[in-house]
Amino acid sequence: LKASLPLLGVGFMTLFLSLCFCCYMWRLKKQGQKEMGYKEVRLIIHRNYSTNDSFQTCPVCLDDFSPKDKLAVCECTHIFHTKCLILWLNQSPTCPLC
């Protein structure tokens, strides 16, 4: 029993250091995304589709826009269905076309 006590201590120390390292890497990733401005790619405009618009298809779902659709415009001026862009931004913090 006394021989396994140091081994148990080393195991807990390794687990603790691994947890600290994972938390550090997660914070570093979030900070890097923030510094590169990826959090700014959020929607800037919500509007309805107009038949006068030159674009006709959502690049994410490849469905044609209809007059009842709610559209979202990124800061880069690319236009998508609002729901499509939100789903995309949850997976990747960049514009689907940029």
Q: Is residue 98 part of a domain?
A: no
Do 44 and 80 have their domain in common?
yes
Q: What tens digit of pLDDT does each residue of 65-93 get?
A: 887 888 888 877 788 888 898 888 888 77
Do 30 and 42 have their domain in common?
no
pTM value is: 0.51
Q: Is the pLDDT of residue 3 over 60?
A: yes
Closest CA to 46 of 86, 5, 95, 96: 86
Do 28 and 55 have their domain in common?
no
Q: Which domain holds residue 87?
A: 38-91
Do 45 and 79 have their domain in common?
yes
Residue 31: band (very low, low, confident or very high) from pLDDT cuts 50, 70, 90: confident
Cα dihedral: 42, 65, 67, 72 (round 10) = 0
pLDDT at 43: 56
Pull the structure tokens for residue 54: 């030159």
The total of structural domains in the chain comes to 2
Q: What's the CA gap between 95 and 25, in Å, rounded?
A: 24
